């Protein structure tokens, strides 16, 4: 891990605690202040969009947004877009994917961050802000009662993630990139280290994803979805 950031050190623990704390605070505000519910949701969406606009503006200003190696093609990028769509439109098909992709993939990124620059550089801080806001957005939508994953959402999320993997696998093969970590594991420690060498860890992620998705569905199964309370 880069200097200035220790895995599960005080800074890391504070970040991990801040994500559900933000979602919880906004959920409480949503339930207490009915007149402000729409404004809270849209303000959260604006914050998520602004964070990513600032990041890509920074990349462009520093001539770092290059093809093919610095494109927003990771699963967490897709999760962010789906979370943003869910916040703005409360669209169940988007939330069906955002719920699992953000809480399984985004949370894993927060737990085992693959930082490419020292902390607290702009890119490192933005990594946590972007992933944290994405996860918090999904938690807020669930805890406030605005959205729930639907029946068979686990199957849809698994199908979606595999379609995404096939597309990124083709892109990686052509351009020799490593989106979705299909050609190599991340440099920093991660769950993939427990799943064996390439390509076996890719198959292992299928099992892990299914277990995580089912585990995420169990607490909300049978709940009403897409309803504003």
Segment 99-107 shows an average pLDDT of 95
pLDDT tops 70 at residue 15:
yes
Q: Where are the domains of the chain?
A: 10-220
197's CB contacts (< 8 A; 6+ apart) are none
pLDDT at residue 3 greater than cutoff 60: no
User: What was the pLDDT predicted at 188?
Assistant: 75
Percentage of the residues of the chain whose pLDDT score is greater than 90 = 73
| pLDDT band (50, 70, 90) for residue 212 | very high
| CA distances from residue 87 to 46, 49, 58, 65, 94 in whole angstroms, order as listed | 9, 11, 25, 27, 10
**Model confidence pLDDT, tens digit, residues 17-58:** 999 999 999 999 999 999 999 999 999 999 999 999 999 999
| Contact between 192 and 181 (Cβ < 8 Å) | yes
Asked if the model's pLDDT at residue 226 lies above 80, the reply is no
What's the rounded Cα separation, in Å, for the pair 59 and 56?
Answer: 5
Average pLDDT, the chain: 91
- Residue 216: per-residue pLDDT: 96
- Give the percent of the chain with pLDDT over 70: 95
pLDDT of residue 23: 98
Per-residue pLDDT tens digits for 137-184: 999 999 999 999 999 999 999 999 999 999 999 999 999 999 989 999
What the block records as the tokens of 216 is 């995420």
Task: Please give the Cα distance from 120 to 27 (Å, whole number).
Answer: 29
């Amino acid at each position: 891990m880069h200097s200035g950031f220790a895995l599960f050190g005080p800074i890391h623990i504070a970040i991990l605690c801040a994500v559900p704390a933000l979602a919880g605070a906004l959920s409480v505000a949503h339930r207490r202040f009915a007149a402000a519910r729409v404004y809270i949701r849209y303000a959260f969406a604006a914050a998520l969009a602004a964070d990513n606009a600032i990041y890509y503006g920074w990349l462009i200003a520093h001539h770092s947004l290059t093809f093919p190696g610095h494109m927003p093609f990771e699963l967490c990028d897709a999760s962010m877009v789906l979370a943003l769509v869910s916040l703005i439109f409360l669209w169940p098909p988007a939330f069906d994917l955002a719920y699992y992709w953000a809480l399984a993939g985004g949370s894993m990124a927060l737990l085992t961050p693959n930082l490419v620059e020292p902390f607290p550089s702009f890119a490192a801080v933005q990594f946590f802000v972007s992933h944290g806001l994405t996860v918090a957005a999904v938690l807020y939508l669930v805890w406030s009662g605005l959205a729930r994953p639907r029946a068979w959402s686990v199957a849809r999320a698994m199908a979606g993630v595999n379609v995404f993997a096939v597309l990124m696998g083709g892109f990686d093969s052509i351009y020799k990139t490593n989106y979705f970590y299909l050609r190599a594991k991340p440099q920093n420690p991660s769950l993939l280290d427990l799943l064996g060498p390439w390509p076996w860890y890719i198959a292992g992620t299928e099992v892990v994803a299914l277990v995580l998705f089912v585990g995420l569905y169990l607490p909300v199964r049978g709940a009403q979805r897409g309803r504003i309370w």
